[in-house]
């Protein structure tokens, strides 16, 4: 049990620097302490994975990345709590930012579409946004 206390302090030190998912933290703990540390994490930080997910969403929006990018990041970080919304209104600002960047780089609509898809936006979102821009 004393060893588990040492690892609990390590977990708290890691969390003081940045947000980690529960799975990321438990991967750094020996197998005999996983249950103890997991119980403490659930007690003290019940919304840890949701907090990581919302941080990833806000980070992606500020970088001009889309929901598929966030989904991949959360998968890599082993976060099971997915963000609630993947609709166009949530990602509108990010899509506009990525579209303006794409328009500075490319003139061909096909290239712009490919760029937006690489940034993690869905085909439907990009097609709808490009259609709105053309109609204006």
Query: DSSP per residue over 78-132, as a string?
Result: T-----S--SHHHHHHHHHHHHHHHHHH--SHHHHHHHHHHTT--HHHHHHHHHH
- When computed from its CA atoms, the radius of gyration of the chain, rounded to whole angstroms, is 20
Tokens 């096909």 sit on residue: 110
Instruction: Report pLDDT for 136.
Output: 65
Q: Of the candidates 48, 89, 46, 49, which has an alpha carbon nearest to the alpha carbon of residue 67?
A: 89
Instruction: Report pLDDT for 88.
Output: 61
Instruction: Report pLDDT for 1.
Output: 57
Could you tell me the pTM of the whole model? 0.82
Q: Of the candidates 45, 70, 42, 66, which has an alpha carbon nearest to the alpha carbon of residue 56?
A: 70
DSSP 3: H
Instruction: Report pLDDT for 14.
Output: 94
Q: What is the DSSP string of 24-43?
A: HHHTTS-GGGHHHHHHHHHH
Mind listing the pLDDT tens digit of every residue in the chain (136 residues)? 568 899 999 999 999 999 999 999 999 999 999 999 999 999 999 989 988 988 888 899 889 999 899 989 999 999 976 665 556 677 888 898 899 999 999 999 899 999 999 999 989 888 888 888 777 6
């Amino acid at each position: 049990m004393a060893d588990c206390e040492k690892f609990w302090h390590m977990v708290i030190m890691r969390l003081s620097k940045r947000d980690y998912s529960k799975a990321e933290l438990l991967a750094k703990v020996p197998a005999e302490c996983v249950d103890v540390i997991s119980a403490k994490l659930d007690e003290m930080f019940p919304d840890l994975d949701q907090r990581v997910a919302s941080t990833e969403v806000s980070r992606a929006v500020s970088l001009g990345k889309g929901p598929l990018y966030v989904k991949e990041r959360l998968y890599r970080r082993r976060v099971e709590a997915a963000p609630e919304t993947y609709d166009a209104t949530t990602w509108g600002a990010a899509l506009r930012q990525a579209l303006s960047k794409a328009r500075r780089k490319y003139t061909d609509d096909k290239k712009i579409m490919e760029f937006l898809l690489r940034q993690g936006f869905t085909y439907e979102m990009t097609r709808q946004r490009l259609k709105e821009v053309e109609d204006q």
